[in-house]
Amino acid sequence: MKQLKETAQKIKSMEIRGAGRIARAAAAELRDYADRLKTDDLNEFNEKMQFAAELLVSTRPTAVSLPNAVRAVMRYKGESANEARVNILRLADEFITGSENAVLRIGEIGARRVRDGYTIMTHCNSAAAISIMATAYAQGKEIRVIATESRPRWQGHLTIQHLDKIGIKTFLIVDSAVRYFMKEVDLVIMGADAVTVNGSVINKIGSSQLALAAHEARRNVIIAAETYKFSPKTLLGELVEIEERDSSEVISREKLDEFSNISVRNPAFDVTPREYIDLICTEVGAIPPEMAYIIIKDYLGWGIEEMNSNMRI
Ligand code: RI2
């Protein structure tokens, strides 16, 4: 239980962050938790697994990768606690390996859209988006990247570290400079925390203004997103909840206490409408956003019937 709570806390505090990484961390925690559960009673085992699943899902409300990863593991079956445990270990490992391979495949598919000499703008820190840039660069394409700081958590600093290691020439800019630099950009590549059934993309706050500036300047926008970032629940009309984080990420508590009339709003994500997105690059292909439903139904396996009868998390 202690380790389960620690993992949940690390995801909540963003010590473990990035939609893909938190999904893999949750799958790994469910696997290890099942392994640590010593009970032979199947009912008790199931109840404890359900508790763990719900705790992990509650940590970050927006990233759909998290419930999708948990659901992939919680599909386990077993006539006994031990059978269930063995099944969970297999499902979790399958999810983790599949997720790592998906990022590589997205790199290969997405790199086909990157030409030699391109300047690419990116936002926040997305392993899937970086995979495209890294693959294009490894293919010998001379690219440059413009990376935003991504306030308030500065994930842009992680991006520049990564790109620097690979050897890609990168400019770090403040978030408010995206429109100023758009004229120098050939292609925008960003990640996703969630993709809805109508093809809208939820990603780090600021993504939609970047996409809007790209749309205005007629630059293409590619979203790099594994299929498990598509939200089955949006098929039932549910909206993806946008996480609002603590004010202390934006201004210190002491400073804020100096004011009487000021409070902080700190949404972690925003929604980019599909009109501003040219392509969503998944591991099963580069699709127009309008095809999001196909991914949810055919690749995640959640048609409307399964949704109505099965979805607990
Ligand atoms: P990968 C991140 O969320 C960013 O919004 C990023 O674009 C997205 O996850 C996808 O990242 P946060 O955890 O899965 O920083 O592509 O809030 O790495």
Q: Which residues line ligand 1 (CB under 6 A)?
A: 17-20, 124, 126-128, 155, 191-193, 203-204, 268
Delimiting residues of CATH 1.20.120.420 domain(s) in the chain: 2-102
Let me know how long the chain is.
Answer: 313
C-alpha span between 221 and 122 (Å, rounded) = 10
Comparing 215 with 61, the larger pLDDT belongs to 215
Query: CA-based angle 232:234:239, to the nearest 5?
Result: 140
**Which atom of ligand 1 is nearest the CA belonging to 127?**
18
Active-site residue 193, yes or no? Answer: yes
CA of 79 to the centre of ligand 1 (A): 38
Instruction: List C-alpha distances in Å: 162 to 108, 128, 222.
Output: 18, 13, 20
Q: Which whole number is the average pLDDT over 11-15?
A: 96
Atom 3 in ligand 1: residue holding the nearest Cα:
18
**Which atom of ligand 1 is nearest the CA belonging to 65?**
14
Active-site residue 124, yes or no? Answer: yes
**pLDDT at residue 241 in the model:** 93
How does DSSP classify residue 295?
Answer: I
Reported as a single tens digit per residue, the pLDDT across 221-246 is 999 999 999 999 999 889 999 999 99
Atom 6 in ligand 1: residue holding the nearest Cα:
126
Architecture per CATH, domain 106-309, reads as 3-Layer(aba) Sandwich (3.40)
Reported as a single tens digit per residue, the pLDDT across 116-173 is 999 999 999 999 999 999 999 999 999 999 999 999 999 999 999 999 999 999 999 9
For the 2-102 domain, the top CATH level (class) is mainly alpha
C-alpha span between 50 and 30 (Å, rounded) = 10
Q: Residue 87 corresponds to which tokens in the numbers above?
A: 């099944």
Nearest to 105 by CA among 225, 201, 19: 225
